[in-house]
Amino acid sequence: MIRAIVLTTLVAGGTLAAFEAQQPAAQDAKVVEVEKLKDNLFVLKGGGGNTAVFVTTTGVVVVDTKIPGWGQPIMDKVKELTNKPITTIINTHTHYDHVSGNVEFPATVDVVVQENTRANMERMGPVLGRESVTTGPNIFTQNGGRGLPKHTFTDRMTLFKGADQIDLYYFGRGHTNGDAFVVFPALRVMHAGDIFARKGPPLLDANNGGSGVAIGDTLAKAYAGIKGVDKIITGHADVMGFQDMKEYSDFNKDFLAWAEKEMKAGKSVEAAAAEYTIPAPYKGYTPNADQTKSNIGVVYNELKK
Ligand SMILES: [Zn+2]
């Protein structure tokens, strides 16, 4: 049993190290990897967040467009998958590794986001803890506003009909204050973006409305409110089961309860961060000490208000 756990940890660590080592080379070559989920639904990996490509009867919907320079590689890959035109982009949230490719698509392509995400994209302010790579000119301003959202929704919106239907949901603050859940009901699949990026500490981007107090509840509301989904396309990791989102909600609620206790005990952010370990029920989750420390700071700030 112990041997199995050690092996799992080694494999997880090895995969992550290999992925990080590959990143610069993959960026130069801009290799888009395709994972086919259904006959008309694909996940494109590389160059930032996971991109979903949904081929409808009349055109192609792209969910998230990766880091700068990866819009064209996405378009090239879509051409290999279908001869239908790309009609629509949906961005799950504002982050540069999910929206920057927008500016490379034809100006006629519709762009749909949650309304707070539009406001965030108009600013493109630095991401908490990622300031070094996210401080600089707004890529949309640089491109004359191309790629900015044309349509927004508040809590819920449906695009298209029948087998082409897409349901968009917003359940509250989490990773940012504009995290959309993008559901393909005919396929029983959803793209959750970075509110469920991976099994590990989330990036709580307080600079863009993210909340450590709300994220667990928001995920619970999504789990309760979205029906008929079996598989989740995560922001940056592999496809997971719908039940994994319930577990991830609990993980975040447990973190909040723990951080609240640490704060009440008078622990500094640093002292609390030094104590934190991934709780036993979440075996296999990848620890991230820097992110954990940042998240404790975010929760403390919210609880002080
Ligand atoms: Zn993000």
Q: How far does the centroid of ligand 1 lie from the alpha carbon of residue 263, in Å? A: 27
Q: How far does the centroid of ligand 1 lie from the alpha carbon of residue 116, in Å? A: 14
Contacts of 288 (CB under 8 A, 6+ apart): 200, 201
Convert the pLDDT of each residue in 242-298 to its tens digit: 999 999 999 999 999 999 999 999 999 999 999 999 999 999 999 999 999 999 999
Which regions of 75-220 does DSSP assign to beta strands (E)?
A: 86-90, 110-114, 151-153, 156-159, 166-169, 181-184, 189-193
Q: How far does the centroid of ligand 1 lie from the alpha carbon of residue 165, in Å? A: 25
Convert the pLDDT of each residue in 62-97 to its tens digit: 999 999 999 999 999 999 999 999 999 999 999 999
Q: How far does the centroid of ligand 1 lie from the alpha carbon of residue 135, in Å? A: 15
- Angle at alpha carbon of residue 149, lines to 145 and 155, rounded to 5°: 155
Q: Which helix (H) or strand (E) holds 44?
A: strand 41-45
The dihedral sign for the CA sequence 282, 277, 256, 95: negative
Convert the pLDDT of each residue in 203-218 to its tens digit: 999 999 999 999 999 9
Q: How far does the centroid of ligand 1 lie from the alpha carbon of residue 286, in Å? A: 17
In the sheet that 240-241 helps form, which strands lie side by side, from edge to edge?
156-159, 166-169, 181-184, 189-193, 231-234, 240-241
Whether 112 has a pLDDT exceeding 90, the answer reads yes
Q: How far does the centroid of ligand 1 lie from the alpha carbon of residue 98, in Å? A: 7
Residue 305: band (very low, low, confident or very high) from pLDDT cuts 50, 70, 90 = confident
**Closest to 218 (Cα-Cα) out of 155, 172, 156:** 172
Residue 57: band (very low, low, confident or very high) from pLDDT cuts 50, 70, 90 = very high
